[in-house]
Every structure is written in C-alpha cells, then in structure tokens.
C-alpha cells in the first residue's frame, strides 16, 4: 500500500478555531474526544445506530462516528460542552434534570444535541412529533418518557416566551 498522506483540517469547534494535520481515517468522534479532549461526546456503537455521538455540524445534528474528521474541514461543530456548564445548566439540561430524563447519562449528550436542533427548528406540537425526531437516539435506562417530558416542557416554555432560542443554543467560547 502506498504511503498515507496526512490531511489538513481547519474547523471551528465550540467557537474555537483548530488547525490540524490528521490521518484521513480519523473519525470525527475520535478527533473530538482524543485530539481535542472533548469527552462529552460519547461513543456507543460506532456505526450510526445509537445516536450517543450526535453533535451539530453547521447547526444540523449529525452522528460524529459517521463522519471523518476531515469531512468537517471548513465547517463549524458544536458539542455538548457548548451547552450549559455543570454549575450553570442551560434550560434544556435543567429540564432533563427536573424530569428525570437520564439515569446513567450515556445517551444524554446525543439526546441534548438532537433536542437542541429540534427546539431550534421544529414546532414540537405533539408527543408523536417529539418521539419521531428523537427516534435516532437510543436510551436503555429511562424508557424515554422523562426525555419526552423534558423536551415538551422546553418547547412549551419556548412557545410561551419563557425561554428564548438563545437560551438553549450552543455558546461560543469567544465571539469570532
């Protein structure tokens, strides 16, 4: 086999620019966790079934195990670290806490990132719609009810103007 050439990667992750030289085969999930130390993105199945590694790519949810890091070249990535912090949960994270939307927490980063896109872009008027949009994320603890309750609660607060899109959207470490 011919020598593998490294490829350059320029990417904005949670508002921070990274300029790297990487192996083409490096998965985006591994780049985030290993190269950048952002271990909030969890790796479950590594073949696109469980949804634990879901992140936002240019604002749209994607499975980071089904992308090569190099495919993110020139794009903007947001991970769960760009939501609230442990001391200062964002309204979506608080709702997961209040409604028992997690137990072991393994699926939670993916659930939060999927829910973030849902709250930014979808009406979420019915539980059926919420469940359909969350169907790509597996949870083995909660039976989903607490998760659906949390997302519904946030959607109603959004509709009532109690929380804004800004409150639940990813933060940037620094404004660019």
Partner 1 sequence: MKPVPFNYLCAYSLEEALQHLSRSEDAKVIAGGQSLMPMLNFRIVQPSLLIDIGKLVELDFIKEEGDQIVIGSLTRHSTVANSELVKKNLPVIHEALKHVAHLAIRNRGTIGGSLSHADPAAEYPMLSLLLDATMYCESVDQKRIIPADEFFAGSLSTVLAEDEILTQIRFSKTKANTGWAFEEFAQRDGDFALAAVGVLVDKDSKGHISNLQIGMMGVGETALRLNSIEAELNGQAYSEELLETAMSNLSSLLLPNTDLHASAEYRRHLAGQLFKKTFKNAWNMASIEK
Contact residues toward partner 1 (CB under 8 A) are 1-2, 4-5, 7, 23-25, 27, 30, 46-48, 51, 54, 57, 60-63, 65-68, 70-71, 73, 114, 117-118, 131-133, 135-137
Minimum gap (Å) between residue 5 Cβ and partner 1: 6
- Residues shown for the chain: 176
Distance separating alpha carbons of residues 21 and 160, to the nearest angstrom: 47
Closer Cβ to partner 1, 80 or 175, answer by number: 80
Q: What strands, in cross-sheet order, belong to the sheet with 60-63?
A: 16-22, 7-13, 76-78, 54-57, 60-63
- Give the CA radius of gyration of the chain: 16
Distance separating alpha carbons of residues 175 and 51, to the nearest angstrom: 29
Minimum gap (Å) between residue 124 Cβ and partner 1: 12
Closer Cβ to partner 1, 67 or 80, answer by number: 67
The β-bridge relationship of strands 7-13 and 60-63 is: unpaired
Minimum gap (Å) between residue 45 Cβ and partner 1: 8
Closer Cβ to partner 1, 9 or 95, answer by number: 9
């Amino acid at each position: 086999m011919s020598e593998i050439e490294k490829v350059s990667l320029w990417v904005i992750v949670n508002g921070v620019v990274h300029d790297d030289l990487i192996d083409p085969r490096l998965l985006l999930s591994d780049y985030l966790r290993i190269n950048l130390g952002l271990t909030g993105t969890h790796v479950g199945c590594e073949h696109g079934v469980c949804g634990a590694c879901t992140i936002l790519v240019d604002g749209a949810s994607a499975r980071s195990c089904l992308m090569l890091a190099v495919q993110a070249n020139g794009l903007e990535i947001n991970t769960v670290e760009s939501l609230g912090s442990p001391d200062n949960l964002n309204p979506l994270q608080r709702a997961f806490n209040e409604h028992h939307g997690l137990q072991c927490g393994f699926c939670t980063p993916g659930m939060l990132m999927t829910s973030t896109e849902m709250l930014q872009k979808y009406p979420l008027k019915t539980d059926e719609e919420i469940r359909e949009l969350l169907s790509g994320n597996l949870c083995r603890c909660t039976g989903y009810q607490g998760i659906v309750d949390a997302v519904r609660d946030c959607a109603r607060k959004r509709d009532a103007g109690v929380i804004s899109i800004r409150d639940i959207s990813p933060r940037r470490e620094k404004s660019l």
